[in-house]
């Protein structure tokens, strides 16, 4: 029987890096885009349980300047009402730095304390990030924010992929929290033809995950454009999680539940992780560095994986087996140990 119990005993016995703990205890699995041009959709966003909501001023708003201005005004009024049920997970995607709308977006949005994250589209280099950061700092003159803004660069081009390392390690007063992959824009830039297999996108997606993990960032996978096909969405979510992505973008509220249910450990993964933690704790108490478990040799790398699984499961409110649960008997003394 699984029991919903705290993992504090795991953490006391098996220390984990504080950055990893912070990241895994802050769930950011689903990133739902909401068009800021639609008052109806803005209001509807108050009912979603998406981990992150991205209020969009870019692609979902027509390019006419009057449409951009109206959308910006609607979003500003909406956010000023301070009634959002999840105020710590509000993001805004502004227009890109080359457009005439960028500075107006920044000036109207960043001073609102409810906005915690800026999604910056079409970031091709660290110079684009420098430019955006300067604009943010100028807009914040005379304003007070308790915390710096999180920055999420959207990787949309071959040039961005070429400069991925510089983008991921970029530093300023506002820190990057994630890398986001915009697959359709990337395909348009590179002439890649996206297929159901996703094979043609394996390389760029893997590069984004590696760059993100190298610098302690979240990695946000591409949109599933077939928003009515939940089986395709499930397949994409499983694939993304297996590649190492921590979350996925959503273009429709109906996608949120599937994304959030998939980007967490399965029951079997949690069960195995708990067994690994217990077995390794016993091994360490016996001055052993590895142990046999169900026919496999378990050592430090698998211990790290198990720690992450338990932390993520705890953050998601999933049931976690106690190390002291009656069904979790240790191996016989000396059996399977190195």
Tell whether 156 is in a known binding site: yes
325 secondary structure, DSSP code: -
Residue 217's nearest CA partner among 255, 247, 256 is: 247
Contact status, residue 33 vs residue 56, Cβ threshold 8 Å = yes
CA angle 169, 117, 264 (to 5 degrees): 80
CA angle 299, 316, 285 (to 5 degrees): 30
Tell whether 185 is in a known binding site: yes
Task: Give 331's contacts (C-beta < 8 A, 6+ positions apart).
Answer: 279, 282, 291, 292, 293, 337
Tell whether 12 is in a known binding site: no
Distances (CA, A) of 181 to 31, 186, 223, 304, 307: 12, 8, 9, 26, 27
Neighbours of 167 (CB within 10 A): 23
* Burial (0-12, 13-18, 19+ Cβ within 10 Å), 41: middle
Contact status, residue 110 vs residue 136, Cβ threshold 8 Å = yes
Residue 221's nearest CA partner among 203, 201, 245, 191 is: 245
Q: Which residue has the tokens 């769930």?
A: 27
Structure tokens at 318: 């999933």
Contact status, residue 290 vs residue 299, Cβ threshold 8 Å = yes
The rounded distance, in Å, linking the Cα atoms of 253 and 256 is: 6
Q: Which residues are annotated as a binding site?
A: 93, 156, 185
Q: Which residues are annotated as a binding site for Mg(2+)?
A: 156, 185
Q: Which residues are annotated as a binding site for substrate?
A: 93, 156
């Amino acid at each position: 029987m699984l029991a919903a119990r705290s993992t504090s005993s795991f953490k006391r016995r098996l220390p984990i890096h504080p950055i990893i703990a912070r990241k895994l205890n802050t769930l950011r699995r689903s990133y739902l885009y909401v068009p800021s041009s639609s008052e109806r959709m803005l209001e509807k966003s108050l009912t979603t349980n998406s981990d992150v909501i991205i209020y969009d001023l870019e692609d979902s708003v027509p390019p006419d300047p009057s449409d951009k201005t109206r959308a910006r005004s609607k979003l500003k009024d909406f956010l000023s009402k301070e009634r959002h049920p999840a105020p710590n997970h509000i993001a805004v995607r502004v227009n890109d730095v080359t457009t005439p709308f960028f500075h107006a977006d920044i000036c109207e949005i960043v001073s609102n304390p409810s906005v915690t994250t800026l999604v910056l589209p079409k970031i091709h280099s660290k110079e684009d990030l420098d430019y955006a950061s300067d604009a943010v700092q100028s807009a914040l003159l005379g304003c007070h924010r308790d915390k710096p803004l999180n920055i999420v660069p959207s990787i949309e081009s071959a040039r961005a992929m070429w400069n991925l390392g510089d983008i991921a390690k970029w530093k300023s007063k506002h820190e990057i929290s994630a890398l986001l992959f915009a697959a359709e824009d990337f395909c348009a830039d590179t002439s890649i033809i996206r297929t159901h297999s996703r094979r043609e996108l394996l390389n760029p997606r893997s590069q984004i995950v590696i760059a993100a993990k190298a610098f302690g960032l979240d990695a946000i996978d591409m949109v599933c454009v077939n928003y009515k096909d939940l089986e395709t969405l499930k397949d994409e979510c499983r694939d993304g999680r297996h590649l190492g992505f921590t979350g996925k973008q959503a273009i429709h509220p109906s996608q949120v539940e599937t994304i959030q249910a998939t980007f967490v450990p399965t029951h079997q993964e949690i069960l195995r992780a708990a067994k690994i933690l217990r077995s390794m704790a016993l091994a360490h108490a016996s001055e052993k560095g590895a142990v046999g478990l169900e026919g496999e040799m378990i050592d430090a790398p698998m211990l790290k994986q198990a720690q992450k699984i338990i932390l993520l499961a705890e953050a998601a409110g999933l049931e976690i087996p106690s190390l002291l649960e009656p069904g979790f008997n240790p191996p016989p003394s000396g059996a399977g140990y190195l």
